[in-house]
Amino acid sequence: MEQVGTLLLVIGGVLSFAASIWYVIVAFQQSVGWGLAVFFLPFADVFFLFCHWQEAKRPFGMSIFSFLLLLGGVVLSPEFAARVAG
Question: In this predicted model, what pLDDT tens digit does every residue of 28-86 receive, in sequence order?
Answer: 999 999 999 999 999 999 999 999 999 999 999 999 999 999 999 999 888 877 777 76
Tell me the average pLDDT across 7-23: 97
Q: pLDDT at position 25, please?
A: 98
| Structure-model confidence comparison of residues 7 and 80, the more confident one | 7
Provide the pLDDT for residue 50.
97
DSSP character string of the chain: -HHHHHHHHHHHHHHHHHHHHHHHHHHHHH-HHHHHHHHHSTTHHHHHHHHTHHHHHHHHHHHHHHHHHHHHHHHTSHHHHHHHH-
* pTM check: above 0.85: yes
